[in-house]
A and B are shown apart, each in its own frame.
Chain A
Amino acid sequence: MHKRNRLFVSIALVYGLLGGLIAISRLIDPGLIPGNVPRAHGHIMLLGFILMMVYGIALHVLPRFGGFPLYSERMADWQLYLANAGLPVMVAGWLAWRDPLVIVGGVLSYGAIVLFGLNMILTVVGRKK
């Protein structure tokens, strides 16, 4: 399994644990962490845990199931960087009530989504570079 894909799965687990801790702290003491905690929790779990788990597994299996090599390793590397730059910025924006940070983080996260989507489409249809 490619190191980048193992990183995606590992980071997913870290985000899952972090998102859970944030939710537990909110349940125990709603004032402990400032900002929009439910929204931060939801996006840490969905974009951080579920989506990064999907990224790691899909980048490994879809080329094999599709019968073609991954279209672009470089796109997948940049997907890792963008996804992990975007989510912390977005979460910081919610916790600090800073909309510009949320927008920047959202754009970076969306960049990772687009890179993943295009890379998977071009891989599964067997397009050569």
Chain B
Amino acid sequence: MAAPQPTAAEERLGAEAAMARMGMTFSRDNRWFIVAAQVYLMLAGLGLPINGSLLSDSASRPAFLHLFTLGFLLMMIYGLGGHMLPRFTGNPIREGAWPWLQMGLVHAGAASFVAGYFAGWHGLTVMGAILAWLSLATFAARVWPVLWGTPADAG
């Protein structure tokens, strides 16, 4: 009697598990950076129907500009850089709480920065900028040993 054949769904699950074992697929943090980037892109794009331009000449210009740059571009760099650079150099990237700290800082930073512009609260804008900068500093601290360290340094 022939062995039962796996269903298509079982085959797909098997293929996904194999890819995960190979380390080809995104880790959870990088997956969420990529997802968040798309959400920020759609928010930044709202400037098109609202202002008739991605970057209007109104007071909201910095808000939409930074939704695109801080929200979309930076988070794409976080997600893709955090995924690809360890594979390019062979050095591991700092995981654990670090990527989630970086994610919390960049979300809080982008949201505060944009809200500060819309609400006209300068202090909130400054706080958002500082939080976003701390997020980039966290990313740099995670990536530097990947680029220049030995595997033992980056653990």
Contact = CB atoms under 8 A, between A and B. Distances in A.
Interface residues on B, range: 20 to 34
A5 B2 CA distance: 54
A60 interface: yes
Interface string A14-34: 001100110110011000000
B147 interface: yes
B154 interface: no
Contacts of B122: 27
Given A9-B147, A13-B144, A53-B81, 7 more contacts: A1-B147, A10-B147, A20-B136, A24-B130, A28-B126, A53-B77, A60-B88
Interface residues on A, range: 10 to 19
Nearest to B128: A27
A57 interface: yes
B46 interface: no
A39 B85 CA distance: 30
Nearest to B125: A27
Contact of B89 (A1, A16, A28, A45): A1
Nearest to A28: B126
**Majority SS at the chain A contact face:** helix
A13 B69 contact: no
Interface in B80-115: 80-81, 84-85, 88-89
B31 to A, nearest CB: 19
B126 A45 contact: no
Contacts of B136: 13, 16-17, 20
Interface string A87-112: 00000000000000000000000000
Contact of A27 (B129, B140, B144): B129
Nearest to A23: B129
B118 interface: no
A101 B129 CA distance: 29
Contact of A17 (B81, B89, B130, B137): B137
A107 B93 CA distance: 37
A17 B133 contact: yes
A28 B69 CA distance: 21
A37 to B, nearest CB: 13
Contacts of B125: 27
B143 interface: yes
A20 B105 CA distance: 14
A10 B137 contact: no
Given A13-B144, A50-B73, A53-B77, A24 B133 contact: yes
B147 A6 contact: yes
A20 B133 CA distance: 6
A56 to B, nearest CB: 9
